[in-house]
Structure 1
Amino acid sequence: MDISDTAQFQAFIDAIPSPIALSDARRNVVMINTAFKQVFGYEMSDIPDLEQWYQQAYPDPAYRQTVESRWQHRMEDSIGKSKPFKPIELKVRCKSGETKAAKVSMTQLTQGDQTLNVVSFDDRLEQVYFHQRLWRQANFDGLTDLPNRQYFTERLHQEVLTSRRAQRAFALVLLNIDSFKSINENHGQSCGDALLVETSSRLQASVRNSDVVGRMSSDEFVILVRDIDPDKPDQLQTLAQKLASAIEAPFYIAQETLTITCSMGISIYPNDSDSPDILLSHANQALSRAKQTGRSAIHFFTQELHNEIQRTRYLKTAMQQALRDHSFEVFLQPIVRCSDSRCVKAEALARWRLPEEGFISPAEFIPIAEDNQFIHELGHQVFTKVTQMLNQLTKSVDPDFQISINKSGAQFVQGSLPTHRLWPMAMKNLRLHNQNLVIEITESVLLDTAEEVNNRINHFQKAGFQFAIDDFGTGYSSFAYLARFPASFLKIDRQFIQQIHSDQQMQVLCEAMIAMAHKMDMEVVAEGVETNEQFKLLNSLGCDYCQGFYFSKPLAFHEFEDWLEKSANKKNRA
């Protein structure tokens, strides 16, 4: 190719798809091709010489000096030592201000006494960097620059394969910041983000370089602790405590001092599982148990925990079916008036019977119902059956017969069924008086200051429903709350009644509660009465009603009716 024929040579380099620039011995830029203009945006008039090119393409003085130095070394190696010019990876600033990565090479063309430096730019390197950036964005958390859930899970799968071959163990520590939502709500998201970034730094500083820290979700981190002794969990406990101490040290953010706590769940390979997905699930189960026990807790996965969780899942599924089938039963336990030993009330108790197991304890299924929002439908079904029972008992026994129905705090909150409106209508349709139904709540409901809870309780009271405070004495036991909430009945918890005959202090406490309740125009129901001696003593202390196995266990409705008849016959014979 005759480089003296400028037009012909220009056409030749314009046909080349990569950017090309030519300079002479006097460092003048003598030619650029079309690709150069398209990729970098510069015209010949923009860069008449190499000084102008360097100024514009590498505007940062320190970086420009580095480029010139590296270029000079490569030129000396190539020309002075007759070596091939080794390409340089450079970041070139385009005329638009955008920066592009390119691999730059140089060769010399000589014809006669004319020598030109031909510089070619391979901008495909920018595509490589672009794909690298995409990969990083897909695999690393944008805020903390930690491996995200997807990438950490991939590394976990690889670690299982590596550890299996090497016959070594590792641990997964799942760490959740307690009540992180309140940080964002009270201090703003920018403060929360800064706290997360600092948390990630503290976690990385607390583990070895060989360990891996990842971010699983907004407030949840995970640490893969490599090469451990699976038979020495105390070493992991020490590490977990070290992590907790790092997290619980004060944070100084935006002129504020913040303190947080964290909960951790730990699973171990291969003791707990050799499956990466199951190991993560086990660590999550342990974390859930840690958070249930309170803030700043550490819990290791155990088979007992797994069995308990499997049991809960099984009961959850079975409960959904039971609610669809309306197969929950309602039993009644008699409440006897102390003055004449006559049953004038009963407490309704939900009972669940599984064909293969028999009755499931309410202590087991009620928390599941509350945690999964089943409590609303369960409460509605219990209410419906209670109204049917009341419809019969107010006709066959006493028009004023009352049935107490338990209502948890969850049934008063926003989003639950509007029972404060539905129940009065249902009672009216059955021509029942609202006073026939007593709503039992615990002390914890009284402590709920949510406006919706108070509004619903007030609505019930205005409609004529009576309230009973259940399990009194086991919670905050503050009569100040009772003064603010005019209940009709106070139910003394069974733990006081069980010792009332043998413990003088318990007797004094019961007597004081009865007297105080009467002063506040409340009647008293003693729960858990099991002996005639307890009944007589409570009667002598002025207790109004008693309930317990001394009279009867909870009964199915037909059994309750039989019990009422036998009790009436026995009283008549007496």
Structure 2
Amino acid sequence: MNTQEFRYLIKNAKYQTKYEPIINSKNESIYAYEALSKFEIDQEIISTEEIFRKLHHNNLLFFELERRNKELQIECFDEDKKLFLNFDADIVNTIEQKEYWEDFLKPHKENIVVEITENGSDDEKSTKIIHQFSQWLKNKNIDSALDDFGQDGSMFSFFLMSRSKYIKIDKSFLAQIRENKNYTFYLEGLLKTIKMNNQKSIIEGIETKEDYDLAVNLGCDYMQGYFFNDLVIIK
């Protein structure tokens, strides 16, 4: 898909927003939702991940897409819960972009959590941009979540961990534990470290009752995954 086709997508594609619940492991209540977007072109659904990888080096078009995305995600959300919004640091890079997002987030600051994602972040320059974005959120007193912690190929950074209120533990942890129970001790230690740092843990990829029981028994704060699919909201 070339740039012209992407531009057509952004301006004409049908958007669909899905809100996935984040569950409190202590009482099974819904603590928050994560907003996820899908695009429909000629009745074919395309995920944002595919789009982001292609747009990573087209800053203006990427920003245009995400501005429309985030406006829709907040506009359609009418739950009295926190809302987690995925942000790629590359769309909060220029002075103009930072001013726009600050004005956009400010009225919702008490209820919004910005998830810092690493889509396409594969070089030293991208790492620097992510660190700057994390510090910018901290300076603006906007809560952030470090997404996909432990995912294959993701960047491990004490800097990002220390500036995030929430640590979202990637589903790959649970996948590894299914293969080798000894990896449970890694997850247990990580959860203890997060708690000792007065942060909140969210285990992603809860798909089975076994996953659910493990997350609860290890004392994570929140859970997210297909196991809770009947609570998903689509708009």
Q: Is the 8 A contact 1:412 1:453 kept in 2?
A: no
Residue 502 of structure 1, CA deviation: 4.8
1:365 and 2:51 correspond? yes
Question: 2:210: which partner in 1?
Answer: 533
Distance 1:366 1:454, change over 3 A: closer
Match of 2:88 among 392, 395, 408: 408
Q: TM-score, normalised by structure 2?
A: 0.83
Q: In 2, distance between residues paired with 1:464 and 1:544?
A: 22
2:39 matched to which residue of 1?
352
CA distance, structure 2, for counterparts of residue 371 and residue 327 of structure 1: 24
AA at the equivalent of 1:494: K
Residues 73-118 of structure 1 show CA distances to partners (whole Å, capped at 9, x for unaligned) of xxxxxxxxxxxxxxxxxxxxxxxxxxxxxxxxxxxxxxxxxxxxxx
Which TM-score applies when normalising by structure 1? 0.37
* Partner residue, 1:120: none
Q: Matches of 2:136 and 2:227 in 1, distance apart?
A: 36
Identity %: 22
**Would you say how many aligned residue pairs link Structure 1 and Structure 2?**
228
- Which structure's relative contact order is higher, taking Cα pairs within 8 Å and 6+ residues apart? 2
Shift of 1:331: 1.6
**Deviations for 1:432-464, whole angstroms, at most 9, x for unmatched residues?**
3x031111114669x7564x7655443332333
Contact 1:439 1:465 in 2 (8 A): yes
Question: Do the aligned partners of residues 477 and 505 (structure 1) sit closer, same or farther apart at CA in structure 2, a change above 3 Å counting?
Answer: farther
Q: Which residue of 2 aligns with 1:520?
A: 197
Gaps of 5+ in 1: 1-311, 395-400, 559-574
Note the 1:229-240 alignment, pairs <5 A.
none
Q: What does 1:79-478 align with in structure 2 at a 5 Å threshold?
A: 312-313=1-2, 316-325=3-12, 327-356=14-43, 358-373=44-59, 374-390=61-77, 392-394=78-80, 401-414=81-94, 418=97, 420-428=98-106, 431-432=107-108, 434-442=109-117, 450=128, 454-474=131-151, 475-478=154-157
1:501 and 1:507 in contact (8 A); partners too: no
Q: Distance in 1 between matches of 2:130 and 2:202?
A: 25
Aligned to 1:50: none
Answer whether contact 1:389 1:557 (CA < 8 A) is retained. no
- 2:220 maps to what in 1? 543
Backbone CA RMSD of aligned residues: 2.7
State the distance in 1 between where 2:218 and 2:170 align.
16
Letter in 2 for 1:507: T
Give the counterpart letter for 1:477 in structure 2: F
Name the amino acid aligned to 1:412.
V
Take 1:547 and 1:372, find their aligned partners in 2: how far apart are those partners? 31
Structure of larger gyration radius? 1
SS of the residue 1:393 aligns to: coil
Task: Tell me, in whole angstroms, the C-alpha distance in 1 between the residues paired with 2:198 and 2:52.
Answer: 32
Give the drift of 1:513.
Answer: 1.2
SS of the residue 1:353 aligns to: strand
Contact 1:322 1:328 in 2 (8 A): no
Q: Which amino acid is the alignment partner of residue 331 of structure 1?
A: K
Secondary structure at 2:27's aligned position in 1? coil
- Cα deviation for residue 509 of structure 1 reads 1.4
Q: Structure 1: how far apart are the matches of 2:213 and 2:9?
A: 42
Residue 328 of structure 1: how far off its partner (Å): 2.9
Where structure 2 has 5 or more consecutive residues not aligned to the other structure, the ranges are none
